[in-house]
Structure 1
Amino acid sequence: MSHFSSFDALCSALDDRTFDRLPALVANAHITGLGVARALAAHDVPVVALDRSGDGVAPASTAVTAAGEVTYPLDDRDAFREDVEELVDRIGREAVAFGCMDEWVHAFAETRPDGVRLSFDADAAPAVLDKEELYARADRLGVPYPETYSLDEVDPADAAEALEFPFLVKPARKREGEEVLGTNVVEVADAEAFAEVVDRAQSADIRVLAQEQVDVAVGEDRSLASYVPPGSVDVDDSTDTPDPLAVVGNARVRHPRAFGTSCVVDVVEDATVREQALSVLADAGYHGISESEFVYDRERGEHVLLDVNTRPWKWIGLPVAAGRNLPLAAYEAVTDGDVERACGRERASRWVYLRDLLAGLASGDAPNVLTGEQWHAVAGGRPVDAGVTTGVFDTADPGPTQRLVETEFSGRDYYCSC
């Protein structure tokens, strides 16, 4: 277990450590960062967790060697690069970077700090994360996606007439837009609300899209969790290129129910989603970890692509437990290791984030999809006995759960739910 330190204290702590292997720099240091840290530490990879806030759960984990503050890249990108380069200098050898939210991915990709190996394709990632470019690619490939208009290319009045209220406004670059708009999806009910959001975005020089509000079948979405190795850009299984490591997940329960973050996710089979997601990644030439998000549109009668995250995400622990350790695969690939080490037996096919599931059950917003056997196994501290893996909660690593409880009841609020 580490403590979250100031930047200067983190530098001093790294001066006192010797690393036998290249450490991983994991940013941010909350639920997703914890999942990455545990996946790597289980294979003896040292982890240094970075963030702008000490309220995340990851620093309290035994999987984290050291944790501390760096300049937030949306505040000062050059200072962020300088901080990372200073940390690498203190470490005394190169490090492998894992960006766990879009702004950290963009920061590592665009600043390319000296001494840092990136766990993802820095050239292709920005184009995949940008929704304007993503939907243009999907359109070219014939991958279904919601009706969408770039307000840089289409007059807002024309977009509103085509979509009809209510509809959604989304930033092209999620986290930068979220900092300005307060969320990454804004529902606008009328012309006045639409104009207000567009004005705020334009004043901050944020590109936004107008998008239809899909008639989503709640509980029927799909996401491809994957690691695509370098050179694996052809989804034809007959090729000699390395096969992607991939698992399709279904977020059975979200909190809040319709559009919240995942709290119960199951492994499912869906060849269509797998092929469509990999075709988008292949067209972009992207290699690395990604989550390709689809929802089921009841009006169209098919899944439509919403987003691709070229990074780990909240339920990254599910593919790990399902025998596809995506963070380890990325680490091995960039350190000239054996990517096959990332393939193992399936220990669980369901991921549960108890904090949100219990909140949903208490409010009546979420259904109880866990069986009695699964609840018993979770309560007994051995969820894998019932094929379940849990986010944050782990009796063998209790520090993050303690940190989560402390922040829940202290009035402090971590800046990102993931």
Structure 2
Amino acid sequence: MTAEDDFIQYLLEIGEFQEDKPVLFPTNDQWAMAVSKHKEDLSKHYRLCVADWPVVNKLIHKQQFYDWATKREYPVPRSWDTEERIPDDAFPVAAKPEYRRVSSDKPSTETLSQKFDEMRLEILEDRHEVQEFKDENENVLQYFIFQEYVRGLSNRMYTIGIYADENSEVLGMFTGRKLRGFPPDIGDCKLGQAENLPSSLKTMVKELCRDLGYTGIAEFEFKRDEVTGKFKLIEINPRSWSWVGITPSCGVSLPWIAYADLKGIGDISYTENTVSTGEVKWVRLLEDSINCLYKNERAGYPEWDMTFAEWCQSIRASKTVTAEFDIRDPAPGLYSVYKFMRSNGGQLKRKYLGET
């Protein structure tokens, strides 16, 4: 976001016309940063589902968070801000931006965010590849960190989503796993499911909330190394996340728990998933279908290529929640279909009808 002051001023202006303080939920990093930074002023008009600024700032900037977590012996990947600090036994390593999106009034912010989206993670096998990466990205190198690479594709990613109250006590907890992302190695969730996770991870997340002084909704992302089987805490997103919509169907509606607590509605008691592993799935229906029918193979992951029947079977569950479609509000779904066909109709025709 490149107009933080205007964004906050707009929220303040419309807030003056609210008879009862509404709950404000930031849903991406830059909005969480802006709202948190101006929390005191915005609190006059809103009930804010966001942590305090020092906490949000620490979580957005990965090196700050990794340094903090390492000192407290949380299981984060080893990371280094310069090549010289990488030990010989650490390779392969991943080069990743310290942040992807931030709130600012600087026009350059948008350009950097676009570049970081394109360079989310690059795997470097040895020091020679590290040097090549440095030479090719010298103008933005100060924004990158080198990190121990946790092996596996996006289906090795696990989510623990929480809502913590003003005392940093967790009132609601969802546990799940990303089944498919795109790109397949590092991409955002396109298909996820509720999944039971070890109690040690859940206990750790509650401890992290207390240590951080965290309040609001957050997503704790773990990756399980495909060789060692160990879980590593990759990052904490200080906001709701893309597939938070699965949580009501799992008996732990985090948005409602947050709303009820912030509005003082009733007595909120601690709640976790009430469903078993795989009983509920969430899918970004249109994107996941085109990925599995066409794009995964093209991206170099033929093992994730499948027929339409195989894809239908893969998203089947006792309850499947879709990102785009809800009978109570059909307009977003219709618009999603329109955008989907404009972007992907030609590719599907070429693959299945042989048209040029």
Task: Settle same-fold status: TM greater than 0.5.
Answer: yes
| Deviation, structure 1 residue 275 | 2.1
Q: How does 1:88-99 map to 2 (within 5 A)?
A: 88-99=15-26
Q: Say whether the 8 Å CA contact 2:35–2:50 is kept in structure 1.
A: no
Q: What does residue 2 of structure 2 align with?
A: 75
Q: Deviations over 1:264-306 (max 9, x none)?
A: 2121221232222222222101021111001111343301111
**Aligned counterparts of 1:344 and 1:138: Cα–Cα separation in 2:** 25
Larger deviation: 294-303 or 346-355?
346-355
Q: What does residue 94 of structure 2 align with?
A: 168
Flag the 1:223–1:345 CA change in 2: closer, same or farther, 3 A: closer
Q: Say whether the 8 Å CA contact 2:171–2:271 is kept in structure 1.
A: no
Q: How does 1:103-142 map to 2 (within 5 A)?
A: 103-112=30-39, 113-114=41-42, 115-123=45-53, 124-142=55-73
**Aligned counterparts of 1:369 and 1:340: Cα–Cα separation in 2:** 39
**Aligned counterparts of 1:229 and 1:320: Cα–Cα separation in 2:** 19
Q: What does residue 329 of structure 2 align with?
A: 397
Q: What does residue 212 of structure 1 align with?
A: 148
Q: How does 1:274-293 map to 2 (within 5 A)?
A: 274-293=202-221
Q: Say whether the 8 Å CA contact 1:169–1:186 is kept in structure 2.
A: yes
Residues paired across the two proteins, number = 311
Gaps spanning 5+ residues in structure 2: where? 103-111, 298-303, 345-356
**Aligned counterparts of 1:333 and 1:361: Cα–Cα separation in 2:** 40
Tell me, yes or no, if structure 1 residue 261 matches structure 2 residue 188: yes
| Deviation, structure 1 residue 403 | 1.5
Q: Say whether the 8 Å CA contact 1:95–1:116 is kept in structure 2.
A: yes
Flag the 1:344–1:212 CA change in 2: closer, same or farther, 3 A: closer
Q: Deviations over 1:221-260 (max 9, x none)?
A: 2110111222244xxxxxxxxx531121011222232211
The amino acid that maps onto 2:256 is: L
Higher relative helix content: 2
**Aligned counterparts of 1:184 and 1:329: Cα–Cα separation in 2:** 36
Q: Percent identity among equivalent residues?
A: 20
**Aligned counterparts of 1:299 and 1:197: Cα–Cα separation in 2:** 31
Q: Say whether the 8 Å CA contact 1:120–1:289 is kept in structure 2.
A: yes
Q: What does residue 74 of structure 2 align with?
A: 143
Q: Say whether the 8 Å CA contact 2:164–2:172 is kept in structure 1.
A: yes
Tell me, yes or no, if structure 1 residue 185 matches structure 2 residue 113: no
The amino acid that maps onto 1:139 is: T
Flag the 1:402–1:369 CA change in 2: closer, same or farther, 3 A: closer
256, 259, 262: which one pairs with 1:331? 259
Tell me, yes or no, if structure 1 residue 227 matches structure 2 residue 163: yes
Larger deviation: 402-411 or 349-358?
402-411
TM-score by structure 1 length? 0.66
The amino acid that maps onto 1:305 is: L
**Aligned counterparts of 2:223 and 2:48: Cα–Cα separation in 1:** 30
| Deviation, structure 1 residue 326 | 0.8
Q: What does residue 349 of structure 2 align with?
A: none
Q: Say whether the 8 Å CA contact 1:224–1:292 is kept in structure 2.
A: yes
**Aligned counterparts of 2:138 and 2:85: Cα–Cα separation in 1:** 12
Q: Deviations over 1:206-235 (max 9, x none)?
A: x431113321265232110111222244xx
Flag the 1:97–1:184 CA change in 2: closer, same or farther, 3 A: farther
Q: Say whether the 8 Å CA contact 1:222–1:273 is kept in structure 2.
A: no
The amino acid that maps onto 1:301 is: G
| Deviation, structure 1 residue 360 | 2.5
